[in-house]
Structure 1
Amino acid sequence: MKKAALFSIVLSCVPLLTGFAFAQSLKQKDLIARDLPKVAELATKTNQVCGTKISFKLDYATYGDVLKDVNNQSPWAYLANATDALQKVCSTDAGKKAVQTKIKSVIVSHAANESESLTGTVFRYAVPYSGHSPATVVDWLQNHL
């Protein structure tokens, strides 16, 4: 991956990261720092598959209790559901065209219940990561794009 592309993707994560990181423990700050390269990798691959320049963001403020959770998943794992789903939708010409036209930004957050929404060109995915998979996101995208 080109350094400029990685830097651009990492910078897109900073607005949601900044306020959260300084109010959290060192353990959480380290988790976020380790997350950023994986977030950049998922974003780059999805943008390549879809022929897009979608901005991917994790709402880190919603992940405060994740480290206390039994599954101890890193926040990038929540993003993987959305990026995997987008790649699947982009595997057809019609799906790729719909994603290129209708989604410019993706924001993923932790929540008690899974939900998807599209407001303007912003796709939001909230996930508890308890048994959910990209299939539910694929289904939602195919029914709403």
Structure 2
Amino acid sequence: QDLSSSTPVFLFKDGPVTSAARRAQPVLLEDFDQPSQAVTERLNSILEPDPELTVVEDSTASLAAGARATAPGAIPILPGFQLFATSHEASRTQGSRLSPAARSRFTEIFVPAYSRGDVLAIMKTHLRKGLEQ
């Protein structure tokens, strides 16, 4: 595709998820419950048993020779890619901002909030380290 024409072209730039998928690296998405459902649902296809991701927003997509993906804008999901996400929900019984489809693709581990004693111990440890330096 000729990019020298005067017609504006949207160029897609890899972000953390697409970069990690291409490099077969893990990625952590913090506060996964904060974006709109449209954003989180967009990632469902990479959490399937046969993962795939197509970036339809990339009008200039071309694939390197030998890539697993075949569609324009397709991003190969290489072995070694893993997606971890955190969510800040008040309780296990409170309604989730994540859709059932998104939640079903993760293993949920509930971590209780720090107690006051835990917070004080952490603060003392970090303050002590800061004073020693």
Shorter-chain TM-score: which interval?
A: under 0.3
> Normalising by structure 1, what TM-score?
0.19
Please state which structure has a larger fraction of its residues in strand: 1
Structure with greater Cα Rg: 2
